[in-house]
């Protein structure tokens, strides 16, 4: 075992047990999920963050690659009350610093009271508080990570074949694999494109639905994706999850804002405004839609803080969710969202005409 130090933005330095050595920095956030550590650690939405698990024992059912949401661990470091050896071995293989044997309850309480904060971490036999403070001094805010989309997007287009007739173009801003799986299981063929794909790239696929994925960071840092939404709005049915909701709202004239500590866990209650039905949802985001603008209506809200959890436009054929209907981990209350998305292709005679971009 080695020494470990966490230098927090509030001035404190927390001592811990080092499990995987290294020096790093990021935004300190937490998740309240009891299970799903594999899915959380491989969720691209945690890019540039340090993930603290509020549940005390992480790793009690092993590590299986089939539960991963991407091909690597995305948080800059992992923090828990106790990690099992199997998780430590996995994080070591991924070269991701890890610490445990500290009061994670105190960390979570601090984040709840003061908001997500910057943290510097030093782990190893030669780790010192000063080294952790040096990392903290170099830490940037999430809005400053202007190229974060390039860190998590697919390097090249990928197609997943379904057995139906619907074609979905998924713009990958850091998509979870479960989103692709949920669409393919319903028969859709999914073309995954980089977040900076051009309108010509989308038009070449003759897509039925444009889907903006989840992902990390400030939605304002995804300018190419904003341009896609603006270009195809009203011409191609559109859906979005998490960051995708924020990007769509922003591109259509709405505004977004950073939350104090975000929504991260598997027990966020959401109420549908029309039906009054309350569902439990999985969430992982630090930004939210503050104002949907004149083109989108709020259809669902968070029971705890009234933030927008669902947006829609009948005129533009848009439906979005702030939470993750595909869960993994979490409740399956809202999987029918993907049925609603694919049903958008059934509306005919509404005057919509897909734009055609001339190719060279």
Residues identified as active-site: 242, 324, 326
- Annotated binding residue 243: yes
- Annotated binding residue 246: yes
- Annotated binding residue 215: yes
Give the 3-state DSSP-derived string for the chain, with helices as H, strands as E and coil as C.
Answer: CEEEEEEECCCCEEEEEEEECEEEEEEEEEECCCCCHHHHHCCHHHCCEEEEECCCEECCCCCCHHHCCCCCCCCCEEECCEECHHHHHHHHHCCCCEEECCCHHHHHHHHHHHCCEEEEEEEECCCCHHHHHHHHHCCCCHHHCCCHHHHHCCCCCEEECCCCCCEEEEEECCCCHHHHHHHHCCCCEEEEEECCCCHHHHHCCCCCEEEECCCCCCHHHCHHHHHHHHHHCCCCCEEEECHHHHHHHHHCCCEEEEEEEEEEEEEEEEEECCCCCEEEEEEEEEEEEEECCCCCEEEEEECCCCCEEEEEECCCCEEEECCECCCCCCCCCCCHHHHHHHHHHHCCCCCCCCCCCCCC
- Annotated binding residue 45: yes
- Annotated binding residue 22: no
- Annotated binding residue 217: yes
- Annotated binding residue 286: yes
Annotated binding site for L-glutamine: 45, 215, 217, 243, 246, 284, 286-287
Where is the binding site, in residues? 45, 215, 217, 243, 246, 284, 286-287
């Amino acid at each position: 075992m080695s020494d470990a130090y966490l230098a927090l933005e509030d001035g404190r330095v927390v001592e811990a047990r080092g499990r995987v050595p290294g020096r790093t920095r990021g935004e300190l956030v937490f998740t309240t999920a009891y299970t799903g550590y594999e899915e959380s650690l491989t969720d691209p939405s945690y890019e540039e963050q340090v993930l603290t698990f509020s549940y005390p024992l992480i790793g009690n059912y092993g590590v299986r690659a089939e539960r991963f949401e991407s091909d690597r661990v995305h948080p800059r470091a992992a923090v828990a009350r106790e990690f099992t050896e199997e998780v430590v071995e996995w994080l070591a293989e991924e070269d991701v610093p890890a610490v445990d044997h500290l009061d994670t309850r105190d960390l979570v309480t601090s984040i709840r009271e003061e908001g997500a904060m910057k943290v510097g971490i030093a782990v190893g036999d030669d780790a010192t508080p000063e080294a952790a403070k040096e990392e903290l001094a170099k830490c940037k805010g999430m809005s400053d990570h202007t190229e974060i989309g390039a860190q998590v997007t697919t390097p090249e287009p990928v197609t997943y074949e379904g057995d139906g007739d619907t074609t979905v173009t998924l713009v990958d801003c850091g998509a979870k694999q479960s989103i692709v799986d949920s669409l393919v299981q319903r028969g859709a063929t999914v073309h995954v494109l980089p977040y900076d794909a051009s309108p010509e790239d989308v038009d070449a696929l003759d897509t039925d639905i444009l889907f903006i994925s989840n992902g990390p960071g400030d939605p304002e840092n995804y300018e190419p994706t904003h341009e896609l939404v603006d270009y195809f709005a009203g011409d191609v049915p559109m859906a979005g999850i998490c960051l995708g909701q924020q990007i769509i709202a922003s591109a259509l004239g709405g505004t977004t804002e950073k939350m104090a500590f975000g929504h991260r866990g598997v027990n966020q209650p959401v109420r549908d405004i029309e039906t009054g039905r309350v569902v439990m949802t999985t969430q992982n985001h630090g930004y939210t839609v503050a104002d949907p603008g004149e083109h989108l209506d709020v259809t669902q809200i968070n029971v705890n803080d009234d933030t927008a959890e669902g947006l829609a436009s009948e005129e533009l054929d848009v439906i979005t969710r702030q939470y993750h209907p595909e869960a993994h981990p979490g409740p399956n209350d809202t999987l029918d969202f993907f049925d609603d998305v694919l049903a958008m292709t059934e509306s005919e005679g509404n005057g919509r005409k897909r734009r055609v971009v001339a190719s060279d």
